[in-house]
Structures are given as C-alpha cells and as structure tokens.
C-alpha cells in the first residue's frame, strides 16, 4: 500500500542490536532517538550476573544541552540566595529531566548532575567566608547538608550527592 513516505538516505540506517546473544561487529551499533542513545551497555540480571544488553540512556547531545542550561543558571553567582531558594529555583526543571531521562540507565545522569553539585560547592565558597579558599571543606559541608536534608534538591533524592 502506497502512503507517500520517503526515506532520507543520511537519516536512515540499519543498526545492529549487539548484546550478549549477538556478538557480531558491524558499522552501526547505536542510534539516537528522542534524547536517548540506544547502544550495547552493561546490565545486571535478576540473579546478580552482568551481561550486555541493547538499552537506551541519555544521549551525549542531551547531556550537553542539560549542562549548558545548568551553567546558564549561574548558581555559583547567586550568593544572595539561600540554599532553599536555590532548590526552589532548580527543582522543577531537575525533576522533569530526572522523570524523562531517568527511566532507563539512571546512572548515566550522574555525570550530568555532578555539574550542578560542583556549582553548589562554588556557591558555598562564595557565600561563606570560612569556606572561601577551601574546596574540600566546602564539598564536605555540602555533603553534610545532603545527608541531613536529602529531599532539598531533586537530584540528591536519587542519590547524586556532592
């Protein structure tokens, strides 16, 4: 049945879904779709054994875009705000990203949200004089708050703490 669709030669490709059962090697073994990259990744089975599965995770393009947006917030420059005010500003967007990209392979989000944790450490260094020249001490201070109040930031709730 004709429906008038055409395949774009640069956008259309056949991908080999490599996993533990399909061990061959081909030119195209991954693809991006809706902000996810589908490719072979290590997974843990029900019995605790590791195997290779063809599963999605956040794409590099989406990671860069999220990083760009978080850097544009310039959290480290908002030293007139309290930590609670910062969390009220960031949490709606963070929750949206976690709900969308955290469905599959949540550990791929750790690298993305560590950017925000580093910005929060820089914020603490600017906000409090006693932490001004002490990177490690500021990180420990923030880690203590994350332990006491894990619900303060949305990414702290899923275990991505400073």
Long-range contacts of 15-21 (CB under 8 A, 24+ apart): 17/54, 18/52, 18/54, 19/51, 19/52, 19/53, 19/54, 20/51, 20/52, 20/53
Angstrom distance (rounded) from CA 89 to CA 74: 12
Do both 67 and 137 map to the same domain? yes
Do both 79 and 93 map to the same domain? yes
| pLDDT category of residue 62 using cuts at 50, 70 and 90 | very high
**Dihedrals phi, psi of 160, to nearest 5 degrees:** -95, 85
The reported pLDDT for the residue numbered 7 is 83
Do both 52 and 74 map to the same domain? no
Question: Picking from 25-29, 94-98, 121-125, which range would have the lowest pLDDT averaged per residue?
Answer: 25-29
pLDDT at 116 over 90: yes
The reported pLDDT for the residue numbered 158 is 92
Do both 83 and 23 map to the same domain? no
Domain count, the chain: 2
Do both 123 and 50 map to the same domain? no
Per-chain mean pLDDT for the chain: 92
In a domain, 4, yes or no: no
In a domain, 147, yes or no: yes
Q: What is the DSSP track for 5-36?
A: ----TTT--------SS-----S---EEETTE
CB atoms within 10 A of CB 120: 24
Q: Cite the DSSP H helix spans in 104-153.
A: 110-127, 135-148
pTM of the model: 0.85
pLDDT above 70 coverage of the chain, percent: 99
In a domain, 66, yes or no: yes
The reported pLDDT for the residue numbered 150 is 94
Which of 37, 58, 79 is the endpoint of a domain?
Answer: 58
Do both 38 and 106 map to the same domain? no
pLDDT at 2 over 80: no
User: Scanning the structure block, which residue is given the tokens 């020249």?
Assistant: 133
In a domain, 136, yes or no: yes
Query: What domain range is 96 assigned to?
Result: 62-157
| pLDDT category of residue 1 using cuts at 50, 70 and 90 | low
Do both 72 and 134 map to the same domain? yes
pLDDT in tens, 120-157: 999 999 999 999 999 999 999 999 999 999 999 999 99
């Amino acid at each position: 049945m004709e429906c008038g669709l055409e395949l774009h030669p640069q956008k259309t490709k056949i991908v080999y879904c490599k996993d533990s059962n399909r061990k061959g090697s081909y030119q195209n073994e991954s693809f991006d779709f809706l902000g996810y990259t589908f490719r072979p990744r290590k997974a843990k089975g029900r019995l605790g054994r590791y195997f290779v599965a063809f599963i999605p995770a956040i794409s590099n393009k989406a990671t860069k875009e999220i990083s760009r947006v978080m850097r544009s917030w310039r959290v480290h420059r908002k030293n007139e705000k309290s930590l609670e005010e910062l969390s009220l500003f960031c949490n709606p967007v963070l929750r949206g990203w976690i709900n969308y990209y955290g469905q599959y392979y949540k550990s791929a989000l750790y690298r993305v949200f560590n950017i925000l944790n580093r910005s929060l450490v820089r914020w603490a260094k600017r906000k409090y004089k006693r932490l001004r020249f002490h990177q490690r001490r500021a990180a420990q201070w923030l880690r203590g708050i994350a332990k006491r109040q894990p619900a303060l930031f949305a990414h702290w709730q899923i275990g991505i703490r400073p």
